[in-house]
Amino acid sequence: MTTLDREQPRATDGAPGDGGARPLPLTLAVPAAVLAGVALLLAFPPYGWWPLAPVGVALLAAAVHRRRLRAGAGLGFLTGLALFAPLLEWTNLHTGYLPWALLSLLQAAFLALLGAATAWVSPLADRHRTAWPLLTGVLWVGQEALRDRAPFGGFPWGRLAFSQDTSPLLKLAALGGAPLVTFAVAVAGGLLVTAAWRDWRRTPGQWRPVAGLTAALVALLAAGTAVPTGVRGAGDTVTVAIVQGNVPRLGLDFNAQRQAVLNNHVDATLDLARRVAEGGQARPDMVVWPENSSDIDPLRNPGAGERISQAADAIGAPILVGAVLVGPGQGQVRNAGLLWRPGTGADLDQVYTKRHPVPFAEYVPLRSVARKISSQVDRVRSDFVPGDRPGVLDAGPAVLGDVICFEVAYDGIVRDTVTGGAQLLVVQTNNATFDVAEARQQMAMVRLRAVEHGRAALMASTVGVSGFVSPDGRVDGATGFNTAAVVVRQMELGDGRTPATTAGVWPEVALTALAVAALAGAAVLRRRREVAPG
């Protein structure tokens, strides 16, 4: 154990907040760390108790404050397990327990790093108590910035920002995107722990700082509600239909049902066309089918192409088809959004290939190594290759910003469509291998993206949840899960850029840089204390 890894010298009175250096007793810290994970979990859909996110942040901060690095990491890991194991439970529904366990452990490891980092900056929090909320905020943003990118491109599921889809803090996304929302949630948690970390036996004057911190917390929430959402629009609207065709059976074998899935979406579109012809429904300007609505390559299979053409010609509007396309190389495929126009068929100039295939699900990195861990990796027979262009598709009535499935969780992939000229955001997804909890978590991300970029958005799923989202984050026309549905709505076309769109990645860079500076500052302070006389 190095000198820098030791706890600070202990005071005679070990109560938190007395100016001494005692951490919480482990008998309190361990339950606090576990409760932190549970509170964070309950903040996310399908529970949606968003105020518990700052509570979870505060509990973890209290549990690791003034601890050794290894203890901080261990407590952070407990929080991560309590959060991610149940949050990601949908990953084991059809693939077994091993992928779920490995993914949960990997994500928990990032919270272990956060726990160690939070313990490391304890001297700064003790020396500058008012800085504790800011330290908490920047460390959470730094942890998420790392987790969103590593390994294999990262896995941003479970970001604090994605728990705030019904919170006043959601509107902060218009100023600084998901990183700013995460920062605000973590600062709120930091305010809570700063208010609570004191010796409550010393009653005189205790309530003055608590009142000040409470006022700061209220001001933070009020600031969120005051942020305007949306951007300057052209005043134009389009009528869009989402077709949720459903699948015969949930599970990984939806691929074996691919003809039935395609038929479901064709038949639902033909039924919509009949209602339009009968005058019971306005004709949509465009139709959106979900990811995997045609796992038969319609560019190579004439029968699949004819069926899609039948639907497009009947409805008299372009269809954005979620298709699996063969190639470009041997044993390779592409997950694509393909525009299919009435009368002319596939528009090969308007194709988006998914830029971020999911590792170990759509492609297998280090396949020979992964096979030694589980032979299940060989169920991924063909590797999906990534696209190299943002999903900006000119459908005619509107320019679409298309992202596919988990891509909605990645800031840059969505932002690139807006800076490329998208007027509407479209998320094509297939939730047939997951459950309703995963679908609702994904819809929460769509809500944040709509606010972040001031664009109306929609999510089209094979089995649900599908729906429309306004630029202020409200959901309309949400469908049920594991059911067929067709929903038609008017959507306003967006123009211009929000401050978040303009700022791009820089808010996250700035906050992460502050996190690094805090870690360096804590190192300097610890070194000074080490060499101080006595």
Q: Which residues are catalytic?
A: 291, 354, 405
Measuring CA to CA, which residue among 148, 182, 157, 167 is closest to residue 57?
182
Answer whether 325's CB lies under 8 Å from 352's CB. Answer: no
CB contact at 8 A, 376 and 99: yes
Spatial CA neighbour of 56 closest among 82, 74, 87, 93: 82
Tokens of 384: 């999906």
Q: How far apart are CA 345 and CA 518, in angstroms?
A: 57
> Is-contact 148 159, C-beta < 8 A?
yes
Beta carbons of 161 and 173 less than 8 angstroms apart: yes
Instruction: Examine residue 30 and say whether the peptide bond preceding it is cis (omega within 30 degrees of 0).
Output: no
CA angle 152, 422, 486 (to 5 degrees): 90
Q: Are 210 and 178 in contact (CB under 8 A)?
A: no
Q: For the sheet containing 475-476, what is the strand order?
A: 392-394, 399-404, 424-429, 457-461, 467-469, 475-476
* CA nearest to 57, candidates 198, 170, 194, 221: 194
Separation of alpha carbons 152 and 131, rounded Å: 34
CA distances from 108 to 75, 117, 158, 313, 333 (A): 10, 14, 11, 50, 32
Q: Is 490 helix (H, G, I), strand (E, B) or coil?
A: strand
Least Cα distance to 408 among 380, 381, 361, 444 occurs for: 444
Structure tokens at 256: 């074996």
**What span, in angstroms and rounded, lies between the C-alpha atoms of 453 and 448?**
9
Residue 314 token pair:
């009947």
391 CB-near residues (< 8 Å, 6+ apart): 337, 352, 355, 400, 401, 402, 403, 404, 413, 417, 422, 426
